Amino acid sequence: MAITYDEKSALRIETGGSIVEGAGGIAVVVLAIISLAEAVPSSALIAIAVIVLGVAFLAEGGAIAAEFSRLLGAGTGTMSRIDLGGGMILEWLGGVALAALGILSLVGVVPGVLIPAAVITGGAVLMLSSGTLVEMNEFRMRSTAFPEAYRGLLGASVSGAVAIQVLAGAAAIVLGILAFTGTGAGTLMFSQIGLLVLGSALVIGAGTLTGNLIRMFRH
């Protein structure tokens, strides 16, 4: 089945959301590295990284929303709609929560508590939303006349990205908990590493999704 004009419009929105997500992930990684390299770590840089992470999750939620609109138009199964709709809401709620935690930390409201909470929240969202990436890929395979040779390649790339997201999310949760139990520089260090892990996972996930979407455009 050929991709229609409306489907291509939705794919463009998905691609744009994935690019923003990837750019946000890169920004989080850069901010975390700069913060780690400072002789006296600043909570302001970490708070900004948390805000950027929230924006990246919101962008990913937008990409899922575009896919959700395609699902509604295609009249696919109820389970697919529930999975993608749940993933969309989770990404948006997580993005809003992270942005709020980052802003509060930036203005000096107990950053030693809110930043570790943000790291744990980011890890939880990353883990819980990982299945949405698989569902989105399966829907694309069902709705597009893709050659069998490509299906295996895309499936393998998505499975690898999902595994990385789950591991990164679990690691971030552990680091966030350790940040809660630390004091002073220890709290910041664990939070910095947690954000570095989360940012890297976002870059990998966004790169995988964008690559798959570009292949679909060319098909």
86 vs 109, residue with greater confidence: 109
Asked if 174 contacts 190 with a C-beta cutoff of 8 angstroms, the reply is: no
pLDDT at 2: 43
Q: For residue 157, with 0-12 CB atoms within 10 Å meaning exposed, 13-18 middle and 19 or more buried, which class applies?
A: middle
pLDDT at 47: 92
Question: Each residue of 171-205: pLDDT tens digit?
Answer: 999 999 999 887 666 678 899 999 999 999 888 87
pLDDT above 60: residue 61? yes
Domain coordinates in residue numbering, the chain: 5-218
Buried b / exposed e across 38-62, counting CB within 10 Å, b at 16+? eeebebebbbbbbbbbbbbbbbbbb
pLDDT at 157: 66
What does the block give as tokens for 8? 């291509």
CA distance 4 to 62: 20
pLDDT above 90: residue 70? no
Question: Each residue of 112-167: pLDDT tens digit?
Answer: 889 999 999 999 998 888 777 666 666 666 555 555 555 665 666 667 777 888 89
CA distance 205 to 39: 32
Model pTM score: 0.78
pLDDT above 60: residue 54? yes
pLDDT at 4: 45
Question: Each residue of 1-27: pLDDT tens digit?
Answer: 444 435 555 556 566 667 777 888 899
pLDDT at 101: 95
65 vs 97, residue with greater confidence: 97
